[in-house]
Structure formats: structure tokens, C-alpha cells
Structure 1
Amino acid sequence: MTTLVAGQIVFLECRQTRLYAEIIQVLAPRPVGWIRPLAMVSDTQIIALGTELNSATLAIDQPAVPDMLWPLDQLQPALDTEVIPLLATLSAKADGPSSLPTADSHLDQLTVSEFVRWLWVDRQRSP
């Protein structure tokens, strides 16, 4: 297992959708950590989750989606080749619409809580 650290970008994946998040704190005595959701991403759409990217410092400010406590073994580290374009897109969205326009997007009505429900249901079904 890869050691995850605070400040690292990770993702959870379910039903062709990824929830990207930043690790805020790793709780050493238990294999869990606090994560701050940044964006939900599918093949056709990116939804910023109400965080504002401070382009001067490249820091995430003012989270609108609550931080979550999550098992570290379920988090997958995001590659730099995924993170850099994602952060650039989130930064550009600060001046534009909250999501990329698509005609048949399944993310239009998806919330983080629904995504988490999907994830837990799917993981309960898997051996």
C-alpha cells in the first residue's frame, strides 16, 4: 500500500465517476484520514465542488462540501498527469460556469452524498 500524506490529491471511483479530494489529515493510530472533496469527474464533465482555488498560492480555500473521514485503503493516489489539468480546469472555472456543458451528462443531478451512497452500496456487493 502506498503511504498517503496530507496535501496529496486522491480519488474514489464508482460507476465511471471519480471524486477527487485532497487529504487534509492522516490519522496515524487508525487507517483513516480527513479528505476535502474537490471535484467529481466523468468522461464528459467536471463538476467543481464549491471550492475556490486561490491561483496566487495554488491553495484550496472555502470548502462548500464538508470534509469527510475516509478509510485510507480505499483512496487511490491521483497521478500528476491527472491532477495538473484538473487543478487548471478548476482554476479556470472560478471565472466561468460550474460544469462543462453536455447534453446527456449523468452528473447533472449527482451530489457528493449520492456518490458516497453508490460507492458504499457497490462495495457491499463486491466480495
Structure 2
Amino acid sequence: MSQLSTSSRQILSLSDRRDRLYGEVIQAIPPKQVYWFRPLFLVEDVCNQTSSLDCNLIDLRQSSDLILPQNWFDRRLDTEIIPLLAKLYSHNCSPAESISHNYLYSFVRSLWQTNREAFDYE
């Protein structure tokens, strides 16, 4: 993943193994090369989906914001995001709020385990 030129409210994603987290940039923090990022939804098992509308979408709009390295993020095309946002807003696609938080926690923990060197500040 490369460093991106972004603006506030731009939707980006983070991928880990088979899941992909989508969210919006709240603010870029250039001195630290991180984004303040607000999760919107998690798509499970991206690799096995024939269509974005077939995916299991987990609503994370009520979850915690994240601050993560800019180089972990990927740009998403509008043609990919719009159908997913339509699905997110068209019906309740989320489990209970506490379960949503567990999905986000598991996703971030997996990212952390894969990228521990990004958190070494010695």
C-alpha cells in the first residue's frame, strides 16, 4: 500500500486476510503519517464473493474511530463503494452493537499482529 493524497470524508479501505474494513478519513495527520479514520462497515470474506451485494456486511457506524498508518489504506472506486453504501443504508445489516465492536476489535487485532513493526517506537 502506498501513501495516498486524501481529503476529509474520502472513503478508503483496509484489508486483512479475507476481510476488508471501509471507512472515511476524518483527518490526515502528516507529521505522524497516520489517518484519523472512522469505520463504516466491514465486509467479511471478500475473496469468496462473486458480487459486492452478496457479501456479509457488518455495520460499524457506531464503533470507535481509529488512528492508523496511512500506508495501510487503499483507495476505493465509487463503483465499488456506492452499492455497498446502498446496502448498508437500505436495511439493517448489522448484528447487535456489542458484536459489531467485537468484529472491529478482531479485525484491528489481526492487523496489529500482522504489522507489529509499525508500532515499534523505540
TM-score by length of 2: 0.73
Could you list the runs of 5+ residues in structure 1 that have no partner in the other structure? Answer: 52-63, 100-106
Deviation at 1:23, TM superposition (A): 0.4
Partners of 2:108 and 2:79 lie apart in 1 by 25
Aligned to 1:111, the other structure's residue is in SS state: helix
Aligned to 2:8, the other structure's residue is in SS state: coil
| Structure 2 CA distance for partners of 1:92 and 1:117, relative to 1, 3 Å | same
1:46-125 mapped onto 2 (5 Å cutoff): 46-49=57-60, 51=61, 64-93=62-91, 96-98=92-94, 111-124=103-116
Query: What is aligned with 1:10?
Result: 12
Q: For residue 91 of structure 1, what is the amino acid of its counterpart?
A: Y
Q: For residue 41 of structure 2, what is the amino acid of its counterpart?
A: A
Aligned residues: 103
Query: What is aligned with 1:40?
Result: 42
Partners of 2:69 and 2:101 lie apart in 1 by 26
Aligned to 2:115, the other structure's residue is in SS state: helix
Could you list the runs of 5+ residues in structure 2 that have no partner in the other structure? Answer: 50-54, 118-122
1:13-54 residue CA offsets vs partner (Å, 9 max, x unmatched): 1121001010011113221110000001023311111x2xxx
Partners of 2:110 and 2:18 lie apart in 1 by 11
**What percentage of residue pairs aligned between the two structures are identical?**
36
Q: For residue 45 of structure 1, what is the amino acid of its counterpart?
A: N
1:62-81 residue CA offsets vs partner (Å, 9 max, x unmatched): xx201111111111111111
TM-score by length of 1: 0.71
For the Cα contact (< 8 Å) 2:11–2:76, is it kept in 1?
Answer: yes
Q: CA RMSD in A?
A: 2.3
